[in-house]
Structure 1
């Protein structure tokens, strides 16, 4: 009987002779398959398995640590693209802005809402089932030649989103950050519906005020120097009062309240069941906003 060959080959490359074993699975590996380990070398499969078993680092709020504020970039891009669309087709504002109830007359003009209206008129807004307005209005802004601010409306909002969004996204992680932003936007739209259903409103301000409230709650949770944070919050509230004369203060306040509530749940949820409590709080707020919306629309019609 011939003696057994003493030549050993790589388990991935059978034609390559090698004499080094993976320290985890004990299989032979060639230089191309060797991966440096704390002691010795590992094969590619063992390296992948080890990476899956390593617990990913999390922030104090349970979010994955990310170096690139991707969601903030996307939100800014969506707002800018929507603004370009407005410039090309100005009727987008009337079609997608936040609106509870209007009447459209035979002449195409807009009229004050009344539940019983004469022939030739048509309902417009949430009373007509245009539910998308609750969110689409938060991605539109005033045209350059309209309102008090014109083009500064989107410029100021995007500057605030850039400064606040990057910080908050890095702490909350992308999924929680998206939930915060959208629920803040919805909170602003719903308060507009409740208090000023006949007002056509646009702008990301509700979501921005929600981010401002989130920054305050997160700063307290993380033990930041509250002197600077309190000054920021005082300025935000002062702007809320001043802007009430020429902007939708209802949208600002609604976003502020919704963002604060969501972030309180994110910040103080028990660690052992953090994700469940955070998701439950978001769902509960969403249900509350939906109930308020349906109730108001039902009352209007």
Structure 2
């Protein structure tokens, strides 16, 4: 049976979309849509002053999640890649730095040198470990994933919301590692945060009514590589991947929810706060077990 095809964006005819401008009713794709108090508007309606609100800030182009459209929509992704690369280079020249930043459950010793852990109060390790990588193939793989998945997601969410997804996903992945692994297991890598971006991308694709099969295939493939690693000197932390994926999806649901205006901002902030508190509860529960 034939199915009706969605119309193409009036500025990008090759991009099918089910969303239209609330004023002129022309179809618009995610790149063109500007958030309004009700629905979305096209750039022309916003520039003509027919948008809602007062002053230039009210008519500023908005991302799908309500953030301001930036001149460089992938700036945060570039900064994160640069930061990961810089930390990797520092780790090559000073391996002891890595031991002081990666995720460890409690006091252990490496090569005769004592190393404290999360359960002794060094909670910063839950986030610093997200920016560490031990091998060149490890960081290259994660940074490719960050660029491919993170770039489009940042453009859709805006800088601050995108950064919230990244950091909370990294924290959620570390929390699950901390909960389920042996307390002296060294763990590091940005893959938990990258999986979180993938989880938020699934929510975004669903929100825009995109064809879900390619996204689902990507999720299945990455989970397959998680549980069936293809080799390498490092073992894959499935806990970080699963924890990050679930956390990113939860944050994405809050950021891309149906609320509008001030209620939307409050709902987004509330979602981030709840996810953070859930991760903190897991961390404190595990710490109580180890101390």
Q: Same fold (TM over 0.5)?
A: yes
- Over the aligned positions, Cα root-mean-square deviation in angstroms equals 2.1
Distance 1:289 1:243 in 2: 27
CA contact (8 A) 1:243 1:249 kept: no
Give the drift of 1:123: 6.7
Superposition map of 1:97-176 within 5 A: 97-104=102-109, 108=112, 124-142=116-134, 150-176=135-161
1:63 CA displacement:
2.0
Where in structure 2 are the equivalents of 1:1-301 lying within 5 Å?
A: 52=56, 54-68=58-72, 69-104=74-109, 108=112, 124-142=116-134, 150-196=135-181, 197-243=183-229, 246-272=235-261, 273-301=263-291
Aligned residues: 233
Structure 1: stretches of 5+ with no match in the other structure: 1-37, 39-49, 110-121, 143-149
Q: Deviations over 1:195-230 (max 9, x none)?
A: 013211111000010011111110010111222222
Which segment drifts farther, 214-223 or 58-67? 58-67
The answer to whether the Cα contact below 8 Å between 2:129 and 2:188 also exists between their aligned partners in 1 is yes
Q: TM-score, normalised by structure 1?
A: 0.73
TM-score normalised over the length of structure 2: 0.75
Tell me which moved more, 160-169 or 237-246. Answer: 237-246
Structure 1 position 51, deviation (Å): 5.5
Structure 2 distance, partners of 1:289, 1:156, is: 26
Measured against aligned partners, the alpha-carbon deviations of 1:249-273 in whole angstroms (never above 9, x if no partner) come to 1111111111111001111241241
Distance 1:263 1:53, change over 3 A: closer
2:33 aligns with none
- Mapped contact 2:226–2:236 kept (Cα < 8 A): no
Change (3 A) 1:200 1:244: farther
Moved over 2 A (4+): 50-54, 102-105, 243-246
